[in-house]
Amino acid sequence: MPNSKNTKGLGKGIDAIFSDFEGQNVDATEENVLDLRIDKIRPNPYQPRKNFNEESLEDLSNSIKENGVFQPIIVRQSVNGYEIIAGERRFRASKLAKKETIPAIVRDLDERQMLEIAVLENLQREDLSPIEEAEAYDTLIKKLKITQEEVSKRLGKSRPYIANYLRLLNLPTMTKKYLKNGKLSMGQARTLLGLKDKEKIDYLAKMVVQKGITVRELERMVTEANNSKPRPLKRVPQKSPFIKASVEELITKFDTPIDISENKDGHGKIQIDFKSTDDLNRILDILGINID
C-alpha cells in the first residue's frame, strides 16, 4: 500500500479507513496471508488511477525479483478469481517481474466499500495533482451520494479545504491540463477562478505558464481585468465550434495542453505543449513517429 508517510490530500490513512468497516481489522498478523496466482487477480474496477509511472514500476519490479513482496496486497473474492482492494502497484510490478504468485489477504467488501477504498488509496499518491485530488473528492460525493461535509469528516479535512479543491473542476479544459501537468500551481489556479470573464481564463493561464507570472502578479492582473482598468487583458478571438471541439479531442488524446489558432484566410497552426524530452517522445509515439 502507499507509503504511510505521505498524507497529501488525506487526513486519515487507508488503515484507518479499513478499521471503519465492521470486521475489517487491518492487522495482517491476525489474518491468513495466501499466495494467490497472479493470473487469477484483476485490478479494482473502481480504481480511478489508470496510469502508473513506468520507471517507478521497473524499480519496484527489480526489488521484487531480488527480495520478493514484503507487504501482501489486499483482495476480495469475485466470480472469476479475485479483485484488488489495495496494492495494485505491487501487483503490476510482480507481473513485470514474471512472478506467478503474490502474497495476499482476502477480505469481504461490498461494491460501495470497493469504490471508497479505491478513491481513498488514490488520494495517497505522492504525485497526485490538485485536479486529480479534486476529481477524487467529486467521485466520492457523486458515487456514494454523500455531502461535502461528510467527505470532510471522513477524510479529516475541513469543509472549505474540500470546497476549494472542488472549485478547480470549474476551470476550462486547457487550464485544468496545465494544473494537472504541474505547470500551474494551486494558488495560481484559484486566482484564475476569480476572473469574472471566464472566457479569459485559458488565455491568462497560458500567459502565466509562458511568462512565469507569480501568484501576486496574477492577482493584480485579475483585479485589473475585473475592474476594467486601463490595462485590460487582450481579448482572445472567438474560436468556431469546430475548432473548440477539435482542441478538446486533441487534449484528450495527447493528455497535454493544445491550442489551435486560425487566421482570417483559413490558415492556422496547432501548438502541442510538452514538459520534457520523455513527454515529447510519448507524443511522438502517439503520432506513430519514430526517431532513431
Rounded to an integer, what distance in angstroms lies between the CA atom of residue 200 and that of residue 196?
A: 9
Q: Could you read off the pLDDT of 71-80 as tens digits, one per residue?
A: 999 999 988 8
Q: Is the pTM of this model over 0.95?
A: no
pLDDT of amino acid 30:
54
pLDDT band at 243 (very low <50, low <70, confident <90, very high): confident
pLDDT of amino acid 14:
45
Q: Smallest Cα–Cα separation from 215: which of 186, 195, 257? A: 186
Rounded to an integer, what distance in angstroms lies between the CA atom of residue 225 and that of residue 223?
A: 5
Rounded to an integer, what distance in angstroms lies between the CA atom of residue 86 and that of residue 173?
A: 31
- Could you tell me if residue 69 is left (phi over 0), alpha (psi between -120 and 50 degrees) or otherwise beta? beta
pLDDT of amino acid 228:
62
Residue that is written with C-alpha cell 488509496 in the block: 121
Rounded to an integer, what distance in angstroms lies between the CA atom of residue 132 and that of residue 169?
A: 10
The overall average pLDDT reported for the chain is 81
What mean pLDDT comes out for the span 260-265? 77
Any idea which of 39-53, 99-113, 171-185, 193-207 has the lowest mean pLDDT? 39-53
Asked if pLDDT for residue 3 goes beyond 50, the answer is no
| Edge-to-edge strand list for the sheet holding 34-37 | 34-37, 101-106, 73-78, 81-86, 41-42
Rounded to an integer, what distance in angstroms lies between the CA atom of residue 60 and that of residue 270?
A: 38
Asked if pLDDT for residue 7 goes beyond 50, the answer is no
pLDDT of amino acid 45:
75
Q: Could you read off the pLDDT of 207-229 as tens digits, one per residue?
A: 999 888 999 999 999 998 888 65
Which comes out higher in pLDDT, residue 93 or 264? 93
Asked if pLDDT for residue 166 goes beyond 70, the answer is yes
pLDDT of amino acid 201:
92
Catalytic-residue membership of 88: yes
Residues in the chain: 292
Q: Smallest Cα–Cα separation from 158: which of 139, 143, 175, 137? A: 137
Contact 103, 33 (CB under 8 A): yes
Rg (CA), the chain: 23
Contact 118, 48 (CB under 8 A): yes
Q: For the chain, how far is it from start to end, CA to CA, in angstroms?
A: 38
pLDDT of amino acid 24:
40
Rounded to an integer, what distance in angstroms lies between the CA atom of residue 219 and that of residue 47?
A: 37
Asked if pLDDT for residue 37 goes beyond 90, the answer is yes
Which CB contacts under 8 angstroms, 24+ apart, belong to 70-73? Answer: 71/1, 71/28, 72/28, 72/33, 72/102, 72/103, 72/104, 72/105, 73/41, 73/102, 73/103, 73/104, 73/105
Q: Could you read off the pLDDT of 137-152 as tens digits, one per residue?
A: 998 898 888 999 998 8
54, 58, 66, 88: the active-site residue:
88
What mean pLDDT comes out for the span 229-258? 74
State which CATH number among 3.40.50.300, 3.20.10.10, 3.40.50.720, 3.90.1530.30 fits the domain covering 1-123: 3.90.1530.30
Which comes out higher in pLDDT, residue 232 or 198? 198
pLDDT band at 170 (very low <50, low <70, confident <90, very high): very high
pLDDT of amino acid 63:
93
- What is the 3-state composition of the chain as percent helix, strand, coil, each rounded to the nearest 5? 50, 10, 35
Rounded to an integer, what distance in angstroms lies between the CA atom of residue 283 and that of residue 289?
A: 9
Neighbours of 241 (CB within 10 A): 8
Share of the chain above pLDDT 90, in %: 33
At a CB cut-off of 8 Å and minimum separation 6, what does 32 contact? 105, 106
